[in-house]
Chains A and B, each alone.
Chain A
Amino acid sequence: MFKPPPRASGYIHTNYGEDLALLRTRTERMSLAIFLIIVASFPFLASPFALDLACQVFLASIGALSLMLLTGFAGQISLGHAGLIAAGAFTTGILAREIAAPFWITLPASALTGILLGFIFGLPSLRLRGLYLAVSTLALHFVVIYLGGEYETKRGFSTGIVIDPPSLVGFKLGGRGWYFILFMAAVANLLICVNLLRSRSGRAWGAIHVRETVAEALGINIARYKLLAFVISSSMTSVAGCLFAYYRGFVSVEAFDLFLSIQYVAMIIIGGMGSLLGALLGAMFVTVFPYLIEALLRLLPNAQKLAGDIFAVNYAAFGVVMILFLACEPLGLVGIWRRLQNYFLLWPFRYKPLAGARK
């Protein structure tokens, strides 16, 4: 395993507040400020399309973070992620459509749906492990899609449920409004994850992930913490589904196919297992990458002539890059990031000088 370098030296914490703080050094505070300035100015500089892409990245981040919590930290594999997003989106769609429920009702309702589904589909995890568990979560996906499809057909929404945009005190959201809302949602989610992971439950998940028997011997209630992981992750995912429904203004079963689940698994693996930063990087990469390839392929001469083939090439290229990534960079994007970090930390040395060498 890779050991992250120390964050800072010479800082001695004299009270609990300092010890709990997320930002400890001046550099950290500075870089956060710069990052926030970039984030805040981005929507005023970028084209609406880039803005849309950024919103998609934020939405994907929420989903990827919650899957990372479940798979990367608690060690429970899930292939039902798209089903959970669909559950949140459908809860929102149905409530908004049937009883014209406003935003502040549908959001908690989606979270509640997520909690319920997370509990039910977390139950098999008490007996199943690994791939068997993964496939049993597939069932969740099919059940949700079946129910959603039934609702759509029975109510005659054959091209999907259209949802009116949420109104915040009569204020209508534009692209920029959505950008900030989704950004804040993603940040809130990140903070929840960070704090969960450094609390009692986070440590319990870590222990379960490494070896269940030992965790049990340490006095951790395995069943409780496994279910907790499922419930928390599912409710966060359902909230992402709710936001998705409002952002896109529609819900339909076709938007949540199995490929979406696989994309989320791809996000956390490409990003780097067991790292929240990895989930964010992975979400970004998997969302932006297809558009990037498209843009690059269009730069080729005669791109218009190949119009019929270019999309097949595009599709295949996505597969190739994913393979290259998995084969050549098993630690994921976070591995690259840490190598970069290390390079600057150790500069001018290539490797860490041996501890005894300087004596």
Chain B
Amino acid sequence: MINRFLLGGLTVCAIALPAAAQDAYLVGVTAALTGPPASTYAPAVDALRIYIDRVNAAGGVNGKQIKLMIEDDGAQPSKAAANTKKLITQDNVVLMVNASLSSTYAPVIAESKSANVPLLFASGVCPQSVYPPADPLQFCTTGYASQFDSRATLDFVKATAKGPIKMGFSAMAIPLSRGEMDYAMELSKKMDIDPVGQEIIPPSTADYTPFATKLKDAGPNWVYSWAPWVTQVRTLEALRKLGWQDDYIAWGHLEAEAELARLKDGKFYVVNSNALFQEKQPIHQEIEAAASKASSKFPAQTMTEGWIGGMAIEAALKGAGWPADPAKLRAAMENLKIDTKGLRGGPIEWTKNNHFRTRLYYRIYKWDGDKIARVQDWKTYEVK
């Protein structure tokens, strides 16, 4: 009996709340703000919030404010599904944003499909369904993408290394990372790189040394890792502690800039699709100023992904006009060019069957003596 009261009370609370905000664009976000992987997603969502607040302070889009409705899913698929259902059916959002672990994708996609609301992945890895031919409802701005990243990484290694390459791989024991490392191993064989071993490390590991010992004993002269930052960097540190002194290349997540300066390791390369803050472009100074004004808990360097997500939302809403509905928004997003103002190597372009981007740009950095140095400028890959 009590459940009726609880549910009733909840419904009353929930209905009473959003009544005031009808004169604005409603955008729903489900994000991993708590839970173990929060360190990847919480800064991005904070950046997204700061960006949208700035847009609103400057008069909004098409003269209307954007209302961001953020829900925490703690990286749990069931919670993400419930959040999405609530945001779509009750708050009537025109756009859903997913900034969470890949395991939340399936339920969120299912909910967005059943209501025909476009879904944007910002700061979580791009699913294959946004690559051409793209699913009509799904879009992605995130900088890292499976398969393309490994291709760019291995191309760089092949071009840089002298002599035969014996490559070790390090993955986190989550399906996404393991799948990517398997792909990279297959690819490396075709590229005349000798894959000597792969380590799969559970997400929470007390000591990485046992894994690193095995990897080191396989005798690689390069190690490649495409995994959440913890796994990438702790594997490197464990290898270094064991006295392994060769080259290590990994994906440059949002922590990369601070971490390169902390590690000061001359043989640690990071592959990036976002320009680092030390390049001091105007946009970077803008983000820094905005972050300190909003007194965010997160350093400005970690905000690029969220910022680009905000840019995409702003551009999409601008294209959709007022009043927007999900169908109009989707039509606008299918033909959109987002100016990243130097945060990426070029604009993000979405077309009817490509909701990822038409061109990918990769830069590679490493620590060089006393500063971070760029070892390869934007290299372009066509997405077909």
Q: Which chain A residues have a beta carbon within 8 Å of chain B's beta carbons?
A: 35, 38, 42, 46-50, 52-54, 56-57, 149, 152-153, 156-162, 248-250, 252-255, 257, 259, 281, 284-285, 288, 291-292, 294-296, 298-299, 307-308, 311-312, 314-315, 333, 337
Cβ contact of A296, chosen from B13, B101, B102, B178, cutoff 8 A: B13
Distance in angstroms from B42 CB to nearest chain A CB is 8
B85 contacts A159, C-beta separation under 8 Å: no
Q: How far is the CA of A49 from the CA of B176 in the complex (A)?
A: 30
Looking at B42, B77, B175, the one whose CB has the most chain A CB atoms below 10 A away is B175
B1-25 near A? 1/0 per residue, CB < 8 Å: 1111011011101110100000000
Q: How far is the CA of A54 from the CA of B103 in the complex (A)?
A: 23
Stretch at the interface among B68-76, B212-220, B245-253, B257-265: B68-76
Q: Is B89 interfacial (CB-CB < 8 Å)? A: yes
Q: Which chain B residues have a beta carbon within 8 Å of chain A's beta carbons?
A: 1-4, 6-7, 9-11, 13-15, 17, 33-34, 42, 46, 49, 70-72, 74-78, 81-82, 85-86, 89-90, 101-103, 105-107, 110, 127, 173-176, 178-179, 296-297
B82 contacts A52, C-beta separation under 8 Å: yes
Q: How far is the CA of A141 from the CA of B90 in the complex (A)?
A: 36
B297 contacts A284, C-beta separation under 8 Å: no
- Chain B residues with CB below 8 A from A314, complex form: 72
A252 contacts B106, C-beta separation under 8 Å: yes
A56 contacts B82, C-beta separation under 8 Å: yes
Q: How far is the CA of A250 from the CA of B103 in the complex (A)?
A: 10
**B interface: dominant SS:** helix
- Chain B residues with CB below 8 A from A250, complex form: 77, 106-107, 110
Q: How far is the CA of A52 from the CA of B7 in the complex (A)?
A: 11
Given contacts A49-B89, A252-B77, contact A160 B103 (CB under 8 A): yes
Distance in angstroms from B328 CB to nearest chain A CB is 22
Given contacts A149-B173, A252-B103, contact A47 B6 (CB under 8 A): no
A298 contacts B17, C-beta separation under 8 Å: yes
A284 contacts B6, C-beta separation under 8 Å: yes
- Given A285-B6, A307-B49, 14 more A-B residue pairs with CB atoms under 8 Å apart are A42-B4, A46-B11, A47-B90, A48-B85, A48-B90, A52-B85, A152-B175, A254-B77, A257-B76, A292-B10, A296-B13, A298-B13, A298-B17, A333-B2
Q: List the 10 closest A-B pairs by CB distance, nearest first.
A: A254-B103, A250-B106, A48-B89, A158-B175, A311-B72, A160-B106, A49-B86, A295-B13, A284-B3, A255-B77
B34 contacts A312, C-beta separation under 8 Å: yes
- Chain A residues with CB below 8 A from B175, complex form: 149, 152-153, 157-159, 253
- Chain A residues with CB below 8 A from B13, complex form: 295-296, 298-299
Q: How far is the CA of A35 from the CA of B2 in the complex (A)?
A: 12
A288 contacts B7, C-beta separation under 8 Å: yes
A47 contacts B76, C-beta separation under 8 Å: no
Distance in angstroms from A73 CB to nearest chain B CB is 22
- Chain A residues with CB below 8 A from B3, complex form: 54, 57, 284, 288
- Chain B residues with CB below 8 A from A149, complex form: 173, 175
- Chain A residues with CB below 8 A from B82, complex form: 49, 52-53, 56, 291
- Chain B residues with CB below 8 A from A53, complex form: 7, 10, 82
B176 contacts A288, C-beta separation under 8 Å: no
B106 contacts A49, C-beta separation under 8 Å: no
- Chain A residues with CB below 8 A from B6, complex form: 284-285, 288, 292
Distance in angstroms from B117 CB to nearest chain A CB is 13
- Chain A residues with CB below 8 A from B85, complex form: 48-49, 52
- Chain A residues with CB below 8 A from B77, complex form: 160, 248, 250, 252, 254-255
Q: How far is the CA of A77 from the CA of B127 in the complex (A)?
A: 40
A50 contacts B7, C-beta separation under 8 Å: yes
- Chain A residues with CB below 8 A from B179, complex form: 153, 156, 158
- Chain A residues with CB below 8 A from B110, complex form: 162, 248-250
Q: How far is the CA of A159 from the CA of B105 in the complex (A)?
A: 7
Given contacts A49-B14, A158-B176, A160-B103, contact A54 B34 (CB under 8 A): no
Looking at B1, B10, B33, B86, the one whose CB has the most chain A CB atoms below 10 A away is B10
- Chain A residues with CB below 8 A from B106, complex form: 159-162, 249-250, 252
B296 contacts A308, C-beta separation under 8 Å: yes
Distance in angstroms from B313 CB to nearest chain A CB is 16
